[in-house]
Structures are given as structure tokens and as C-alpha cells.
């Protein structure tokens, strides 16, 4: 699908520059014998001006969070939370697993396309060096949550505090390339995506019956605690230079195939996990609004990914899916048990499945969510969508 280049600008109504007026005056004053030569000179000057004019470049893009947005950092870690073997990546352009928890592209990939840039590399990738650093970086790590004790069963993962430390390290590396002032500008003008929170429920509070956190907190109190800790992370991101930050909420956690397989007897979404999402997402949006008021600008943009996903979960056929309950890859009820491996059931057409594996959307579902991030109304994006952000920022 053709994407309009929002960074292009029309010059059709611009006034003549002083340089052009100067050359016009020369031509009018010159005799006919020299007009041809002067015309050639004008042509050369204009050509050089076009050739050396500064070109608008795609802004840098930084990604923080969990497996929904991990582009492969966990490939470089000793952890059980990895997606570096088939059939992951079966529909990726290279047809090989990349570390993305998807059959193909994930949400950051689609956003990169809309920014007009290549996908961000994992921060731990040895390929992320030199000029490729200026595109941005992906710091996300599958299994992590807002809290440091989330995902402990996955062993070695990049927790949020460490992702932010890596962001500081990234800025030092870029400063060595382009200087401190240019680095600050690159970071201030960058788009940032942060997707975290779901694991704090499914891989912490609800991981096992009578988990430590569920004994420590009632659910409403736990949600308030998560929001207060998330606020600290976002404030730290602001301190590190983030000025345009997309913050996604949790998806419909009780409706993923893994939860249907473990908690549902009739194919309906888990009421308890849906209650958790219903408590968490509005409080996240409220906290984002409070932070924007505190900073006096629309720094943080709330993406209601729960609503984006629940649309096709409740009415899959309206979006071209044959099912939103059964994962494409997996085993057991709803293909929702265990890992997606070469021994798993695998659907022949991933485009008609809303879920790729027990927890993660398919590439096509990621595309639908990304389109709502780009163009969705205030039901999905508040206070504005990504298209509006890009249009506003291109004028400043």
C-alpha cells in the first residue's frame, strides 16, 4: 500500500529567493551575447542548491517493553523467553526467525514503515553500530514487566530499569559520533514506543494461585501500585530526553488463547483477567494525562490497545479472521498450551488467525493495531494519533 510521504513539502507557492532575484537582474542588464552563458550559470547554481539542500530525514525511533515489541534482544541472552527458532518468522521477509514473537512483522516494524525508516535493530545486536545507531534502537525484552520481580521464571531478561540504563549508554555512544548537542536533538525529536504491563498480571499476579503479589495486594491495590511504578518509569524516560512517547495499555489479556486454554470452560474470556485490564487501562490513561499536565505539553500519547484488539477478538470475521480464539501455532485447547515449536500445530494461512501463538497477535493483527495507532480517533488514541503527531512535528 502506498504511504504518503509526510515529510515532503511543496515549493509551488514560495517566493523567489534573493539569489534568484539577483540573477534575474543580471540577465536583464546583460546583452544578448552573454545571456546564454548567464543562463547556464543560473542553471548550475540552481542545480547545486538542490543537490546540497538539507533533506528531511525520518526521525529516530526507540522501543521499550516486552515480547509484543521485542525485535530480538533476547536472542543474545540466556533465557527461556526466546523466539529464535522456527516457525517464528515464517512470514518475515527473510522467512527466518528474528527473535520477534510473531510469524512476521510486529507493531514497531509497522511504525518504522510509517516513519519512512528501516526497522530498529535490537540494542544488543552487534550490527547496531556507526550510522545505524542514528535510526534508533529497540531495547525491549520478552518477559519483562513494570516490576522487577515480573518474569523471574525466564531468568536473564532486560528489565525496565536496565532498558533505561541502555538508553543512557546509547546516548553516550551517539554523542561520540555526532556530538552532545546533535544527540540531544536526535533524542528530543525521536518517537518512542513503550509497551509494558501485561506480564505484571499474567506472569506475576496471576502466574500461580496465591502468588506472592496476590497475597500482598488486592487487585485494585495492585493496579494502583503498578500505575505508581509506571509513572516513575515514564518520568525517567522524560528525564532522558523523551518528548514524544506512545504508551500502550494492556490488551484483552483474558481473551488470549493461553488464558482460554487454562481458565475458560466455554470459550469465553477469563473474567478475572478482563477485570484486571478494565481496572488498569483507565488508570494508565489518567496517569498519562496528569503527566502531560505536569510537563505542560502532550509528551505522552495513550494508545488504547485493549480496545483495538477487542474489536477483532469480539468480531473476527469483520476483520477477515476466521477465529480469534485458536492460535495459529501451538497445541492443546485453542492451541494455547506450551510453546510454539516445529512440533506444534501450524495453520496454513496465518492471515486468517488473529493470534499467532498462545499470547501474541499475528502479523496481520499487528498491522490492524498499528493502523489504529496511526489514524485512530480518540476512542483509540488520546490526545491524538500518530498521523497527527507526525504532521504537527513536521511543521516545527
Tell whether the model's pLDDT for residue 1 goes beyond 80. Answer: no
Tell whether the model's pLDDT for residue 339 goes beyond 50. Answer: yes
- Break the chain into its structural domains and give their ranges: 18-52, 61-394
Active-site entry in 112, 141, 298, 360: 360
Evaluate the CA torsion angle 128, 130, 131, 137 in order and state its sign.
Answer: positive
Containing 346, the helix (H) or strand (E) segment is: strand 345-346
Active-site entry in 67, 119, 264, 344: 67
Residue among 196, 178, 202 nearest 237 (CA)? 196
Tell whether the model's pLDDT for residue 30 goes beyond 60. Answer: no
Q: What is the pLDDT of residue 242?
A: 98
Is residue 250 within 8 A of residue 347, CB to CB? The reply is no
Q: What is the pLDDT of residue 32?
A: 42
Tell whether the model's pLDDT for residue 222 goes beyond 90. Answer: yes
Strands 345-346 and 329-330, by their bridges, are antiparallel
Q: What is the pLDDT of residue 262?
A: 94
| Residue 144 vs residues 7, 46, 74, 187, 381: alpha-carbon distances, Å | 35, 54, 11, 24, 24
377 is catalytic: no
Q: What is the pLDDT of residue 367?
A: 98
**Binning pLDDT at 50, 70 and 90, where does residue 105 land?**
very high
Tell whether the model's pLDDT for residue 43 goes beyond 80. Answer: no
Q: What is the pLDDT of residue 152?
A: 94
Q: What is the pLDDT of residue 288?
A: 98
Q: What is the pLDDT of residue 395?
A: 76
Share the mean pLDDT of the chain: 88
Tell whether the model's pLDDT for residue 13 goes beyond 60. Answer: no
Three-class DSSP labels, 176-244: HHHCHHHHHHHHHCCEEEEECCCHHHHHHHCCCCCCHHHHHCCHHHHHHHHHHHHHHHHHHHHHCCCCC
Active-site entry in 66, 357, 362, 370: 357
**Binning pLDDT at 50, 70 and 90, where does residue 396 land?**
low
Give the helix ranges, DSSP H, for 30-159.
32-52, 107-115
Q: Which residues pair with 330 in a beta bridge?
A: 345
Is residue 187 within 8 A of residue 178, CB to CB? The reply is no
What contacts 301, CB < 8 A, 6 or more positions away? Answer: 244, 245, 246, 247, 288, 381, 382, 383, 384, 386, 389
- Of 16-20, 235-239, 382-386, where does mean pLDDT reach its minimum? 16-20
Q: What are phi and psi of 246, to 5 degrees?
A: -85, 125
Q: Please tell me which residue, 4 or 100, carries the higher pLDDT value.
A: 100
Tell whether the model's pLDDT for residue 340 goes beyond 50. Answer: yes
Q: Could you report the per-residue pLDDT of 262-293, keeping only the tens digit for each?
A: 999 899 999 999 999 999 999 999 999 999 99
Q: Judge: domain 61-394, CATH 3.40.50.300.
A: no
Interhelix angle 386-394/363-375, nearest 10 degrees = 50
Is residue 349 within 8 A of residue 356, CB to CB? The reply is no
Residue among 366, 395, 312, 309 nearest 114 (CA)? 366
67 is catalytic: yes
Amino acid at each position: 500500500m502506498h504511504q504518503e510521504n509526510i515529510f515532503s513539502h511543496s515549493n509551488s507557492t514560495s517566493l523567489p529567493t534573493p539569489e534568484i532575484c539577483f540573477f534575474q537582474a543580471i540577465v536583464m542588464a546583460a546583452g544578448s551575447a552573454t545571456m546564454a552563458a548567464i543562463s547556464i550559470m543560473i542553471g548550475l547554481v540552481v542545480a547545486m542548491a538542490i543537490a546540497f539542500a538539507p533533506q528531511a530525514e525520518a526521525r529516530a525511533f526507540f522501543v521499550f517493553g516486552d515480547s509484543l515489541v521485542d525485535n530480538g534482544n533476547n536472542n543474545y541472552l540466556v533465557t527461556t523467553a526466546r523466539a529464535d527458532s522456527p516457525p517464528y518468522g515464517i512470514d518475515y521477509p527473510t522467512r527466518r526467525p528474528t527473535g520477534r514473537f510473531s510469524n512476521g512483522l510486529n507493531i514497531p516494524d509497522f511504525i518504522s514503515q510509517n516513519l519512512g525508516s528501516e526497522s530498529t535493530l535490537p540494542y544488543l545486536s552487534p550490527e547496531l553500530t556507526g550510522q545505524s545507531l542514528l535510526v534508533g534502537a529497540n531495547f525491549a525484552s520478552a518477559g519483562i514487566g513494570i516490576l522487577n520481580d515480573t518474569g523471574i521464571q525466564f531468568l536473564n531478561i532486560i528489565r525496565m530499569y536496565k532498558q533505561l540504563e541502555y538508553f543512557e549508554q546509547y546516548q553516550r555512544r551517539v554523542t561520540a559520533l555526532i556530538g552532545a548537542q546533535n544527540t540531544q536533538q536526535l533524542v528530543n525529536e525521536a518517537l518512542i514506543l513503550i509497551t509494558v504491563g501485561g506480564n505484571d498480571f499474567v506472569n506475576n499476579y496471576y502466574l500461580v494461585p496465591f502468588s506472592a503479589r496476590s497475597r500482598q495486594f488486592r487487585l485494585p491495590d495492585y493496579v494502583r501500585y503498578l500505575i505508581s511504578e509506571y509513572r516513575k518509569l515514564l518520568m525517567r524516560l522524560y528525564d532522558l530526553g523523551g518528548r514524544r512517547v506512545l504508551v500502550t495499555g494492556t490488551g484483552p489479556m483474558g481473551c488470549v488463547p493461553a488464558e482460554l486454554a487454562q481458565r475458560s470452560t466455554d470459550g469465553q474470556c477469563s473474567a478475572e483477567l478482563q477485570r484486571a485490564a478494565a481496572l488498569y487501562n483507565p488508570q494508565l490513561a489518567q496517569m498519562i494525562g496528569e503527566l502531560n499536565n505536569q510537563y505542560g505539553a502532550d509528551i505522552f500519547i495513550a494508545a488504547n490497545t485493549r480496545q483495538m484488539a477487542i474489536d477483532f477478538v469480539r468480531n473476527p470475521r469483520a476483520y477477515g479472521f476466521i477465529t480469534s480464539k485458536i492460535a495459529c501455532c501451538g497445541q492443546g485447547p485453542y492451541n494455547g498450551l506450551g510453546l510454539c515449536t516445529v512440533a506444534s500445530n501450524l495453520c496454513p494461512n496465518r492471515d486468517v488467525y488473529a493470534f499467532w501463538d498462545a499470547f501474541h497477535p499475528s502479523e496481520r493483527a499487528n498491522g490492524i493495531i498499528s493502523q489504529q495507532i496511526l489514524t485512530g480517533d480518540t476512542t483509540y488514541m488520546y490526545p491524538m494519533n500518530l498521523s497527527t503527531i507526525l504532521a504537527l512535528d513536521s511543521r516545527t
